Amino acid sequence: MQYVADMKAAQTAGAAIDIDRVSHVYAGPEGGVQALSDVSMKVGAGRFIVIVGPSGCGKTSLLMMMAGLRDHTEGRIHVHGAPIPKPDPERVGVIFQEASLFPWLTTFDNIEFPLSLRGMSREERRRRSEPMLSLVGLTGFGERYPHELSGGMKQRVSIARGLVQDPPVLLMDEPFAALDEQTRMTMGHELLRIWSTTNKTVVFITHSLTEAVYLADEVYVMSPRPGRMIDHIMVDLPRPRTYEMMATDTFGRLRDRIWQQIRKSH
């Protein structure tokens, strides 16, 4: 099957993200708490990976580790062949559930924020942020403030900000969770468009099984704490994805499989 061949190709090319037997124990009020247990993942370059799992399973922690924002007690995480002990926005862009746009900055300033940290000149920054703005479909909103934007628009700005330094990897932690369902669906579609244009490697976390199947090339299912990978599902739906695919049998079967796995693991 085509996707298996793609997968093998990705593996031989060297994984973009290589997570090898990562575990994490942190100090809790009553002694050590195992957050992650022996998690392994190999993500091929340019793939769209989705991680689903119940609340508290550690998927956010795992993402934070991939971003260099958090430590792990055991195992190895490599992004593009090198470890990531601290944040590296040129390698990994992070998009959070709360857009976390700075309310005192305009849209342009928000997108350019990572660039301003590097001391880039104003003209250079604008040169890079303008295409980002149009990529996420917000041309003309550059001078607006976050409080003037809707939830969906704020997330688009957040995505633009994550992309502005052109990192090969994009990590997204339930970015659409705070949006209403209709906006969610639109945003998912938009995200796929942006992804296909830019060819990034995306790791996307969500609670929504529908969203997972709709967006992903591969879905990883995590168990409740301590988080382990209990299933790795290949989504063999053709691209580009359409809304109509959601009504197909294949879609339903894939979603059902994820749900069964999650139910079993409780």
- The footprint of other proteins (CB under 8 A) covers 67, 69, 87-89, 94, 96, 98, 100-105, 113-114, 116-118, 145-147, 161
Minimum CB separation of residue 89 from other proteins in Å reads 5
Minimum CB separation of residue 117 from other proteins in Å reads 5
Residue closer to other proteins by CB (options 51, 219) is: 51
Question: Going by DSSP bridges, is the β-strand pair 229-234/82-83 parallel, antiparallel, or unpaired?
Answer: unpaired
Cα separation, 184 vs 170, in Å, equals 18
Residue closer to other proteins by CB (options 103, 240) is: 103
Taking each helix axis from N to C end, the angle separating 151-163 and 122-135, rounded to the nearest 10 degrees, works out to: 130
Minimum CB separation of residue 69 from other proteins in Å reads 6
Q: Which of 151, 64, 33 is nearest to 101 (CA)?
A: 151
Taking CA atoms, 134 is separated from 16, 98, 107, 218, in Å, by: 27, 22, 12, 28
Q: Where are the beta strands (DSSP E) in the chain?
A: 17-28, 31-43, 48-52, 74-79, 82-83, 92-95, 169-173, 201-206, 218-222, 229-234
Residue closer to other proteins by CB (options 101, 133) is: 101
Contact residues for 85 (Cβ-Cβ < 8 A; gap 6+): 68
SS3 70: coil
Encode burial over 42-62: b for 16+ CB neighbours within 10 A, e otherwise. bbbbbbbbbbbbbeebbbbbb
Residue closer to other proteins by CB (options 157, 233) is: 157
Residue closer to other proteins by CB (options 84, 235) is: 84
Minimum CB separation of residue 82 from other proteins in Å reads 15
Q: Which of 167, 172, 175, 215 is nearest to 192 (CA)?
A: 215
- Tell me the sheet residues that pair with 27: 32
Residue closer to other proteins by CB (options 44, 114) is: 114
Minimum CB separation of residue 184 from other proteins in Å reads 20
Minimum CB separation of residue 87 from other proteins in Å reads 5
Minimum CB separation of residue 83 from other proteins in Å reads 16
CB atoms within 10 A of CB 263: 8
Residue closer to other proteins by CB (options 68, 226) is: 68
CB atoms within 10 A of CB 65: 22
